[in-house]
Amino acid sequence: MLLVLASGLYWLAGRWLSLFGVCVKNRNIRLLRAGVVLVVALLCLLWRMTILIALHLMVLFFLMDVGAFVLRRAGRKHREERWFRIARRIYRSGLVPVFLTCLILGYGAYNMGQIVPTEYTISTDKIQSDYRVILITDTHYDTVQNPDVLKSKIEEMNAWEPDLIVLGGDIVEEGTSKKSMEEVFHVLGGLKSTFGTYYVYGNHDRQYYADAALGTRTYTVQELQKAIESNGITILCDSWVPVGEEIVLAGRNDVSAMSGRAAAKDLLKGTDRDRFIITADHQPVETKENAKLGVDLQLSGHTHAGQIFPAGYFTDWFLEPNYGKYEKEGCTLIVSSGATGWGFPVRTQEKCEYVVIDIKSEK
């Protein structure tokens, strides 16, 4: 990946200079291009957004070159016309990729600051009454999104009058300080519902990717657990609880857990299969297995719907369910794009959301 990025930057520097008539094969110019690569590489280490900016510039410059090639071929007869000369002048300025990069990433920064509700409806003959579930996942609190964005949504979520709240993991991460970790669970403790708020671990919450030996962990697993439970939130880690008289909620330990996790068939032992069974699993995996065991609804997150266009399409095509509602052999899988993103403070694909699921009785 680093070699590809370095090669792309070297090409981009040369392509830009060639627009202004500079001979890019000159030895001094080659050294200049290599210097540009080194400077950008240093900036990438200091400011992660440099990677996204560089990638967008490279891709957009390449697409502009393709467009210019097609235009030259198709517009041979129009080379002396005014519109053609203007288009050529704009192309040679090299500013189009810069403008589009600013536009795309500017939209992404704005989009990251908005959390909106996404609604789904499920019908079943297993229940007599209707229920409303709210799923919140992947807040990655106080890292790439202003904490006030989530705080401002608590009353809005309460206004939905949910019966059940599910926190689907990665509420905090390696970049979250202990103070912010405690703050977010205090904030989420303000959510109100008929049957309470339940939490499952994601792959980041316990700071698995931090190095305790180097002191990069900001809180312990015990401190995390205390912060969650002291705010009236129940942790489901390979365990299940009855919700009222008609629903069972099971929470999986994340598949990344160092201690491993229970098999789904073992987790659901003792559950009443005539009830409507919900499984909360941070990553959208093992849905077919859950379906065979009688699970009616699986709630997941983790993918961020790709976050950076067009990553989400590749995730959906080649890796796993990416975003939205899926039907898997009788089990409904809902994958949230998350309340925020990860790694970069921009979202150029899909939206930041919390999910509202209405479970309707068919009886």
162 falls in which pLDDT band (50, 70, 90)?
A: very high
The domain boundary, picked from 87, 109, 131, lies at 109
285 vs 255: CA distance, rounded Å:
8
pLDDT at residue 175, as a whole number: 93
214 falls in which pLDDT band (50, 70, 90)?
A: low
115 vs 118: CA distance, rounded Å:
10
- Name the token pair of 10: 């070297």
The separation between CA 31 and the C-alpha centre of its own chain, rounded to angstroms, equals: 39
The domain boundary, picked from 89, 109, 129, lies at 109
Domain count, the chain: 2
348 falls in which pLDDT band (50, 70, 90)?
A: very high
Q: How many CB atoms lie within 10 A of CB 234?
A: 16
The answer to whether 252 touches 267, Cβ cutoff 8 Å, is yes
For the residues 285-290, what does the mean pLDDT come to? 93
Is the model's pLDDT at 2 over the cut of 80?
no
Of 76 and 321, the structure prediction assigns the larger pLDDT to: 321
105 vs 51: CA distance, rounded Å:
12
The pLDDT > 70 percentage for the chain reads: 98
Q: 257 and 206, same structural domain?
A: yes
Q: 88 and 153, same structural domain?
A: no
DSSP 318: I
The pLDDT > 90 percentage for the chain reads: 69
- Name the token pair of 60: 């957009």
> 2, 27, 25: which is closest to 14 by C-alpha?
25
Q: What is the CATH number of the domain that holds 209?
A: 3.60.21.10
Is the model's pLDDT at 212 over the cut of 70?
no
pLDDT at residue 270, as a whole number: 86
Beta-bridge partners for 299:
280, 334
Q: 55 and 180, same structural domain?
A: no
pLDDT at residue 62, as a whole number: 92
Q: 286 and 198, same structural domain?
A: yes
- Name the token pair of 210: 């931090």
Q: 47 and 168, same structural domain?
A: no
- Look up tokens 């067009």; give the residue: 310
- Name the token pair of 337: 């794009």
The answer to whether 312 touches 350, Cβ cutoff 8 Å, is yes
Whether omega for the bond prior to residue 242 falls within 30 degrees of 0, making it cis, is no
Is the model's pLDDT at 327 over the cut of 80?
yes
278 vs 295: CA distance, rounded Å:
6
Range of the domain at 120: 116-361
211 vs 191: CA distance, rounded Å:
33
Give the C-alpha distances (Å, rounded to integers) separating 264 from 166, 206, 251, 255, 284.
19, 22, 10, 11, 13
